[in-house]
Amino acid sequence: MTAEIISGKEIAAKKRLELAKEVEKLKAQGITPGLAVILVGDNHASKTYVRNKQKACHELGMYSLLVELPEEVSEEELLKKIDELNNDPVIHGILVQLPLPKHIDEKKVIDTISPTKDVDGFHPVNIGKMMTGENGFLPCTPFGIIVMLEDTGISVAGKHAVVVGRSNIVGKPVGQLLLNRHATVTYCHSKTENLKHYTQTADILVVAVGIANFIKADHIKEGAVVIDVGMNRNEAGKLCGDVDFEEVSKKAGYITPVPNGVGPMTITMLMYNTVKAAAESINR
Ligand SMILES: NC(=O)C1=CN([C@@H]2O[C@H](COP(=O)(O)OP(=O)(O)OC[C@H]3O[C@@H](n4cnc5c(N)ncnc54)[C@H](OP(=O)(O)O)[C@@H]3O)[C@@H](O)[C@H]2O)C=CC1
Ligand SMILES: Nc1nc(=O)c2c([nH]1)NC[C@@H]1CN(c3ccc(C(=O)N[C@@H](CCC(=O)O)C(=O)O)cc3)C=[N+]21
Ligand SMILES: [Mg+2]
């Protein structure tokens, strides 16, 4: 079997057209959705992502504010900045690019963002709402994966979904969203014994590990849906995922590429959440 490639780039472009219309409607009501991105220090990869986020904002006619803080900024100063943005009416969404320097407590930072502006969906209030299925902000990468599956017409209910990775920003929430859509979910991580035993039974395999070409053809079942979240550089410095695309794409039913897979969907859902935050700000 040769896998069908799920183009995150194309699905993202389609969703952004719909979003652009929503932005116009809001603007007609006098509200321009505004996203503030806080970048601490100068991590090269972070800068690329942040640039992509700003570009997406501008293409949609949204307002974007980039707050660049030096690596040495104190935790107190960062929290003060967040508080300022929490109270700024032109800002509807706040994103603090992770990871943060070691002297800053990530948990404290996330807890300081107003849940109504937490467009990353990382605040405990939004995580709780996701778990119980209440209206809130869904984390962008997991949400983007669900939208990709939906758009491709892949049904989730009753399927065995295996998630490799259990980070708070990708692995754990993507498993929860798949469960909410009635998949049978298995989580694997670095302590999992006999990983292949689980991945080989996956109808839907989501990989968020951070190791280049980690998943090989013999990890998967013939015809499986393979979602590659990884963003790595290989020995040659080329961007690549956690899945060995070359060999896995010959066996899978569907596969997402890197680049142009999950990445563009993450950014699109960030825009979606910011537009949602702006729309909901009207009724407050
Ligand atoms: N495309 C996009 O939009 C995004 C891409 N990414 C990319 O996705 C990847 C994962 O990101 P993130 O979740 O933040 O990463 P983390 O480093 O936070 O988590 C990695 C997870 O992989 C698990 N793991 C590590 N080694 C193994 C192994 N040998 N076998 C099984 N599991 C293993 C870890 O297990 P344990 O918990 O036991 O340590 C951990 O749960 C990265 O490449 C990142 O750059 C991230 C966010 C968005
Ligand atoms: N608070 C916070 N929220 C995040 O959502 C967040 C974060 N911190 N820290 C880092 C990760 C990573 N992430 C990506 C977003 C887009 C691409 C993306 O656009 N990727 C392109 C290619 C990018 C390139 O060319 O380098 C693609 O896959 O086609 C990748 C990765 C968001 N993250
Ligand atoms: Mg990608």
Q: Per residue, what are the HEC states of 9-73?
A: HHHHHHHHHHHHHHHHHHHHCCCCCEEEEEEECCCHHHHHHHHHHHHHHHHCCCEEEEEEECCCC
Q: Is 214 helix (H, G, I), strand (E, B) or coil?
A: coil
Binding-site residues for NADP(+):
165-167
| The total number of residues written for the chain in this structure | 284
Marked catalytic residue, from 97, 159, 251, 276: 97
- Is-cis flag, bond preceding 101, omega within 30? no
In the predicted structure, residue 105 carries a pLDDT above the cut 80: yes
For residue 51, how far is its CA from the centre of ligand 2 (angstroms)? 10
For residue 243, how far is its CA from the centre of ligand 1 (angstroms)? 12
In the predicted structure, residue 60 carries a pLDDT above the cut 90: yes
Domains in the chain: ranges and CATH: 30-114 (3.40.50.10860), 140-263 (3.40.50.720)
Task: Determine whether 228 is an active site residue.
Answer: no
Better-predicted residue by pLDDT, 141 or 236: 141
Mutate-to-test residue for ligand 2 from 53, 94, 97, 231, highest number of ligand atoms within 8 A of CB: 231
- CA neighbor of 118 nearest in space, from 235, 237, 280, 236: 280
pLDDT digit string, tens, across residues 187-233: 999 999 999 999 999 999 999 999 999 999 999 999 999 999 999 99
The reply to whether ligand 2 has any atom less than 6 angstroms from the CB of 52 is: yes
- CA neighbor of 207 nearest in space, from 226, 190, 225, 186: 226
| Paired tokens of 122 | 């990382």
In the predicted structure, residue 1 carries a pLDDT above the cut 80: no
End-to-end alpha carbon distance in the chain? 53
pLDDT digit string, tens, across residues 120-141: 999 999 999 999 999 999 999 9
Which residue has the CA at smallest separation from atom 1 of ligand 1? 263
Q: What is the pLDDT of residue 49?
A: 84
Q: Residue 111 phi/psi, 5° resolution?
A: -65, -25
Better-predicted residue by pLDDT, 130 or 46: 130
Ion ligand 3: residues, Cβ under 5 Å = 258-259, 261-263
pLDDT digit string, tens, across residues 13-45: 999 999 999 999 999 999 999 999 999 998 877
Q: Which residues contact 28 (CB under 8 A, 6 or more apart)?
A: none
Q: What is the pLDDT of residue 235?
A: 87
Ligand 2 atom with the shortest distance to the CA of 45: 26
**pTM, whole model, 2 decimals?**
0.98
Marked catalytic residue, from 120, 203, 228, 242: 120
For residue 186, how far is its CA from the centre of ligand 2 (angstroms)? 25
Q: What is the pLDDT of residue 48?
A: 84
ipTM: 0.98
Beta-strand runs (E) in the chain: 4-5, 34-40, 63-69, 93-96, 160-164, 184-188, 204-207, 225-228, 232-233, 239-240, 254-255
The owner of tokens 């994966």 is 145
For residue 116, how far is its CA from the centre of ligand 3 (angstroms)? 28
Of all residues in the chain, the percent with pLDDT exceeding 70 is: 100
Residue 145 near residue 275 (C-beta atoms within 8 A): no
